[in-house]
Amino acid sequence: MKKTIGAALALTLLGSVALSACSSKEESTPQGTAAQGTGKVTPAGSFPITNDKTTLKVMVKQNALVEDFATNEFTKWLEQKTNIHIDWDVVPASSAQDKLNIVLASSDYPDVIMDFNVSATQQMINGAQGIFLPLNGYIDKYGVEFKKVLQENDYLKGIITAPDGNIYSLPQVNQCYHCSMPQKMWVYKPWLDKLGLKLPTTTDEFEQMLKAFKEKDPNGNGKADEIPLAGSRPNAGANTQIDQYLMNAFIYNDTSAKRLSIVGGKVTPAYNQAGWRDGLRYLHKLYAGGLIAPQTFTQDDKQLKQMGENPNVPILGASSAQHMGIFTDTSAKGTRWSDYVAVPPLKGPGGLQVTPLNPWGISPGNFIVTNKAKNPEAAFRMADALFNREFTMNSVFGRENQEWRWAKSGELGMDGKPAIWARLQNFGTIQNVFWAQTGPSYRPAALRAGEATDPAVKSLNAVLQMETQTDYEPYKQKQEALLPPLFFTNEQVTELADMEKSIVDYVEQMLARFVIGDADLDKDWDTYVKTLESKGLTRYLQIYQQAYDASFKKK
């Protein structure tokens, strides 16, 4: 897997570096020369970061696993360590993008925008306007931990550098093997066993399994309360949207909301193709048969987890998700998660059977400093500290020797090498001790694979490692089909800004309507395709093609 990810990252580096050389109106702007702040910080790498108490206003996307960022134990630990107080503005995940658009348009935005995965398009627009500060100068002068990250991952700088040469955001780096194949389907195995069913291998077998869940009372309570299949609305949970796993039996369905891939060297959308229509027809058939929960199109990840953790008796037969912790409780108190098993990619009517890849291992646009910051040096230095291993472990997993510990002599990691650390509590329950993967952090592949495993204990990460390797790795897509992360010129960004949102939102809206039956796949399909064109799909694809060609066809 390391070779595969390495190849993908090298591919991305080539493209990003080439795009960084693209012409731009801002090329004459010195890198990192936006307002450099007050200078009231201690020397790079030392603590506290500021001698005088400093406050940063931080807008953050809500994390379903964090009770309260303001009173969170890691927040308190970080503030004590840095002497920086965080004034939080927590935005519901379901409305995060809308809130971001509103605050940027109103000029009433905070010092820092964190965990919004701000797109390259928005970075370019707001960077060119001076709203997002270029961070190059801060990295050069104050970077300690992030410089190490760049040195250890030579592809990374190319990915996060805009065409004008500026870095407008810091990423979260998480080189997670099971996350690189995130579209998975999980089925409640005790129901399979009770009904004498095997794991489905085709779309027909999957449908028959769901019918059995609906009709044969597998939870044995004499009530028709079983939910054969459920998911959640777009952007509510990691890969829980109903199309993300199932569509790959009909057409390659990329892991991002853009649903774009490379077919014969061309940037190609899935959502206006015959295979997409066939997949929608299959999903509508499942829905019409009462096999998909209607809440799937409106509920968030908390509501999905309520289904998965229904008290007393299980009611959820299957759910697509990156891992079981999204719809079940994987904490020390939770046990039901371990009864869900992965279903390998289904073979569709045309023989397609594929695992989409997301091998980049980064969440770009994670930490942005705006021109509202009176002390941007302090903001950058706080983010830089979060890439440190101790900070990362405390931020992501919790307190040393309580939620995690360093490995003991003789312990082995998931890769069979000497372990680095051990988990004391499973990840996935609501708590107020750590940030649960919010904000910058650095988890390289060696750290991920270096988690100690006990063959006698069924741990979440060990299960995910095994299921991914056994069930999904054999079907992974070809590397050349991947559309890598791309930056665009300012002119391209200006065109893309509204066009992309309009197209993506329309695809999501019509996906739900076609599946529910509010729109007819026979009568309304042509109108749907024409509407996509009226929203600028042809030009949209041309822009992506130009950016892709600039980085790859000339290589």
pLDDT in tens, 151-186: 999 889 988 998 889 999 999 999 999 999 999 999
Task: Using alpha carbons, list the distances in angstroms from residue 459 to 194, 319, 426.
Answer: 25, 20, 7
What are 496-523's pLDDT values in tens digits?
888 998 999 999 999 999 999 999 999 9
Same domain, 97 and 228: no
Rg over CA atoms, the chain: 23
Is residue 269 domain-resident?
A: yes
Specify whether 346 is located in the same domain as 376: no
Segments of 66-139 assigned E as strands: 84-91, 112-114
Last residue of one domain, picked from the residues 430, 451, 472:
451
Q: Dump pLDDT digits (tens) for 40-49.
A: 899 999 999 9
Query: Using CA atoms, how far apart are residues 145 and 501, in angstroms rounded to an integer?
Result: 35
CA pair distance 532, 538, nearest whole angstrom = 9
Q: Are residues 63 and 152 in the same domain?
A: yes
Has residue 2 been placed in a domain?
no
Residue 456 lies inside a defined structural domain of this protein? no
Cα distance between residue 123 and residue 169, in whole Å:
8
Using one digit for the tens of pLDDT, what is the confidence trace for 99-136?
999 999 998 999 999 999 998 888 988 999 999 999 99
User: Are 121 and 242 in the same domain?
Assistant: no
Give the chain's domain count.
2
Task: Say if residue 3's pLDDT is above 60.
Answer: no
Q: Domain of 262: which CATH number? A: 3.40.190.10
- Domain check: are 59 and 108 in the same one? yes
pLDDT at 552: 64
Q: Check whether residue 373 and residue 507 sit in a common domain.
A: no
Q: How far is CA 508 from the centre of its chain?
A: 17
Give me the pLDDT at residue 39, please. Answer: 53
Same domain, 439 and 498: no
Q: Are residues 147 and 23 in the same domain?
A: yes
Confidence of residue 283 (pLDDT cuts 50, 70, 90): very high
Residues 117 and 170 in one domain: yes
477 within a domain of the structure (yes/no) = yes
Q: Quickly state the pLDDT bin for 2 (edges 50, 70, 90).
A: very low
Q: 119: closest CA among 136, 107, 110, 132?
A: 132
Q: Which of 23, 32, 8 is nearest to 155 (CA)?
A: 8
Distance CA 125, CA 355 (A): 34
Give the confidence band of 83 by pLDDT, cuts at 50, 70, 90.
very high
Do 103 and 136 reside in the same domain of the chain?
A: yes
Please provide the average confidence, as pLDDT, over all residues in the chain: 89
Q: Could you tell me what percent of the chain has a pLDDT over 90? A: 74
- Cα(11)–Cα(2) distance, rounded to whole angstroms? 14
Residues 229 and 366 in one domain: no
Assigned domain for 12 exists: no
Find out whether 333 and 429 touch, Cβ atoms under 8 Å: yes
Residue 8 lies in a domain: no
What average pLDDT score do residues 238-261 get?
93
Distance CA 430, CA 281 (A): 37
> 392 and 305: one domain?
no
Range of the domain at 26: 19-176+361-451
For residue 11, being part of any structural domain is answered with no
Which residue, 107, 165, 176, is CA-closest to 136? 165
What is the pLDDT at residue 28?
Answer: 30
The model's pLDDT over 424-461, given as tens digits with 9 standing for 90+, comes to 887 778 899 999 999 999 999 999 999 998 877 778 88
3-state secondary structure 192-225: HHHHCCCCCCEHHHHHHHHHHHHHCCCCCCCCCC
311: preceding bond cis by omega (within 30 degrees): no
Full 3-state SS string of 226-244: CEEEECCCCCCCCCCCCHH
Length of the chain: 555
Are 409 and 443 within 8 A, CB to CB? no
**CA pair distance 541, 545, nearest whole angstrom:** 6
Residue 212: pLDDT above 60?
A: yes
Q: Which of 93, 26, 483, 74 is nearest to 301 (CA)?
A: 93
Report the distance separating Cα 98 and Cα 91, nearest Å.
Answer: 10
Would 13 be classed as within a structural domain? no
Last residue of a domain, one of 431, 451, 471: 451
